């Protein structure tokens, strides 16, 4: 088993691969990315991840130079050649390499880089007992729906969470709680699940969509895509995060105040179990 990279369709050792100095991803963050989880040697929810990748490319006007089938093939190749069965595949496409001028270069070929790394299961204690989060101001731009490489606000927010000994920082823009630095955010109030609508102010997470479109329906849970504020969150019965790497993560403390007396609520637990069953069905059978 070994970590492995792929640059413009060719396998490379991680230690060998290099990024040209004038790659626009490197200099401007001019590109988009996706992360897909690998369970039991199979990609989970690869189609929606690739659909979102094409949407992100269209949004920042990078031409799609790889077909869906090619990208699936690259994911499968990385899994096969690395021997990694439990891991994550990172994919990014930048506008390409050109002398550093802000506007789009005339003749430029997008640059695809991918890598696979093993990832163990998330600390089972976190999933079992829940995590702490802090609320911070959302200082990002207004196109958070694009999965772009510009992650500086997210990086700073996650570091703030780490320094506060918290798992995640959830952001607040004006009167509304938007999402985590690398996750979507949900609260349960009077038995109803609430999450920020999929506008330009959040990333429409694949895990979020799975919760909305499949798990909540299957479990007959009521779910609302409606903005809510900090007082609403502080009065919530349950709270949880979702994300490809985060999966469904119960939140039991917000800004030092316990949620549900510090224990994981029943709706979050049901969703966690249903998500684990779905992974099992897609990747283990």
Ligand X SMILES: Cc1ncc(COP(=O)(O)O)c(C=O)c1O
In the complex, the residues that contact ligand X under the rule CB under 6 A are 154, 179, 182-184, 203, 205-208, 242-244
Give the nearest distance from C-beta 185 to ligand X in angstroms. Answer: 9
Nearer to ligand X, 98 or 187 (CB): 187
Determine contact, residues 36/44, Cβ cutoff 8 Å: yes
First CA to last CA distance, the chain: 23
Give the nearest distance from C-beta 246 to ligand X in angstroms. Answer: 7
Nearer to ligand X, 24 or 52 (CB): 52
Provide the annotated active-site residues.
147
Nearer to ligand X, 97 or 140 (CB): 140
Residues 6+ apart with CB under 8 A from 167: 126, 131, 132, 133, 161, 241, 249
| 116-147: b (≥16 Cβ within 10 Å) or e | bbeeeeeeeebbeebbbbbbbebebeeebbbb
Give the nearest distance from C-beta 171 to ligand X in angstroms. Answer: 9
Residues 6+ apart with CB under 8 A from 201: 138, 142, 144, 145, 173, 176, 178
Residue 47: Cβ-neighbour burial (10 angstroms; 0-12, 13-18, 19+): exposed
Give the nearest distance from C-beta 103 to ligand X in angstroms. Answer: 27
Nearer to ligand X, 8 or 200 (CB): 200
């Amino acid at each position: 088993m070994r970590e492995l990279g792929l640059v413009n369709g060719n396998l490379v050792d991680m230690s060998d691969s290099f990024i040209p100095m004038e790659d626009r991803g490197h200099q401007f963050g001019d590109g988009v990315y996706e992360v897909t989880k690998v369970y039991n040697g199979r990609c989970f929810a690869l189609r929606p991840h690739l659909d979102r990748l094409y949407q992100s490319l269209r949004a920042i006007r990078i031409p799609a130079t790889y077909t869906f089938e090619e990208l699936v093939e690259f994911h499968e190749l990385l899994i096969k050649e690395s021997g990694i069965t439990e891991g994550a595949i990172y994919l990014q496409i930048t506008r390409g390499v050109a002398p550093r001028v802000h506007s789009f270069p005339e003749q430029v070929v997008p640059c695809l880089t991918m890598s696979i790394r093993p990832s163990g299961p998330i600390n089972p204690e976190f999933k079992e007992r829940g995590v702490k989060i802090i609320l911070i101001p959302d200082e990002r731009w207004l196109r958070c729906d694009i999965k772009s490489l510009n992650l500086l606000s997210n990086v700073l927010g996650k570091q703030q969470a780490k320094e506060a000994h918290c798992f995640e920082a959830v952001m607040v823009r004006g009167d509304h709680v938007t999402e985590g630095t690398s996750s979507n955010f949900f609260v349960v109030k009077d038995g109803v699940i609430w999450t920020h609508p999929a506008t330009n102010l959040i990333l429409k997470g694949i895990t979020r969509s799975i919760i909305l479109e499949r798990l909540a329906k299957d479990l007959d849970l009521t779910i609302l895509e409606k903005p809510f504020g900090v007082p609403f969150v502080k009065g919530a019965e349950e709270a949880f995060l979702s994300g490809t790497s985060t999966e469904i993560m119960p939140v039991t403390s917000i800004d030092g105040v316990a949620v549900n007396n510090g224990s994981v609520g029943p709706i979050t637990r049901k969703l966690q179990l249903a998500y684990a069953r779905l992974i099992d069905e897609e990747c283990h059978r």
